[in-house]
Amino acid sequence: MAASNAGDESDDDFIVDVDGIQAHGVGAADITKLKANGYYTVASVHAATRKTLLKVKGFSEVKVEKIKEAIVKCQPSASGFMTAVELSHQRKRVCKISTGSKQLDAILGGGFQSMSISEVYLSTNSTIEDQAYKLLASGLWRVQMWEDTIISYDLPKDMGGAEGKVAYIDTEGTFRPERIAQIAERFGMDPDLAQENIAYARALNSEHQLELLNTLSSNFATNEYRLLIIDSIMACFRVDYCGRGELADRQQKLNQFLSKLTHMAEEFNVCVLMTNQVQSDPGASALFAGADGRKPVGGHILAHASTTRVLLRKGRGEERVAKIQDSPDCPEREATYVITNGGINDPEKV
- Residue-wise pLDDT tens digits, 27-60: 999 999 999 998 999 999 998 999 999 999 999 9
- Tell me which of 14-23, 151-160, 168-177 is least confident: 151-160
Residue 339 to residues 144, 183, 350, Cα–Cα distance (Å): 7, 11, 9
How far, in Å, CA of 15 to CA of 40, rounded? 10
- Tell me which of 2-6, 169-173, 252-256 is least confident: 2-6
Top pLDDT among 293 and 211 is at 211
pTM: 0.81
- Give the number of other Cβ atoms within 10 Å of residue 186's Cβ: 16
Average pLDDT of the residues in 89-106: 84
pLDDT number for residue 136: 34
pLDDT number for residue 282: 57
Query: Which class does domain 12-79 fall in?
Result: mainly alpha
pLDDT number for residue 157: 44
- Tell me which of 21-25, 66-70, 278-282 is least confident: 278-282
For residue 97, what pLDDT band results from cuts at 50, 70 and 90? confident
How far, in Å, CA of 218 to CA of 148, rounded? 26
Q: In the β-sheet with 334-340, what is the strand arrangement from edge to edge? A: 198-202, 165-170, 225-231, 271-276, 116-122, 308-314, 320-326, 334-340, 343-345
Q: Does the pLDDT at position 224 exceed 70?
A: yes
pLDDT number for residue 161: 43
Show Cβ contacts of residue 283 under 8 Å, excluding neighbours closer than 6 positions.
Answer: none
Show Cβ contacts of residue 186 under 8 Å, excluding neighbours closer than 6 positions.
Answer: 151, 342, 343
Top pLDDT among 267 and 132 is at 267
Instruction: For residue 92, count CB atoms less than 10 angstroms from its CB and return exposed for 0-12, middle for 13-18, buried for 19 or more.
Output: exposed
Q: Does the pLDDT at position 150 exceed 90?
A: no
How far, in Å, CA of 183 to CA of 344, rounded? 10
Pick the closest to residue 58 from 80, 32, 21 (CA basis).
Answer: 32
- Residue-wise pLDDT tens digits, 120-147: 887 654 333 333 333 333 333 444 455 5
Average pLDDT of the residues in 182-206: 84
For residue 7, what pLDDT band results from cuts at 50, 70 and 90? very low
- Please state whether beta strands 320-326 and 334-340 pair in parallel, antiparallel, or not at all (unpaired): antiparallel
Kindly list the domain boundaries of the chain, sorted by start residue.
12-79, 94-349
Q: Report the CATH fold assignment for 94-349.
A: Rossmann fold (3.40.50)
Query: Can you name the residues that pair with 200 across neighbouring β-strands?
Result: 168
Q: Does the pLDDT at position 159 exceed 90?
A: no
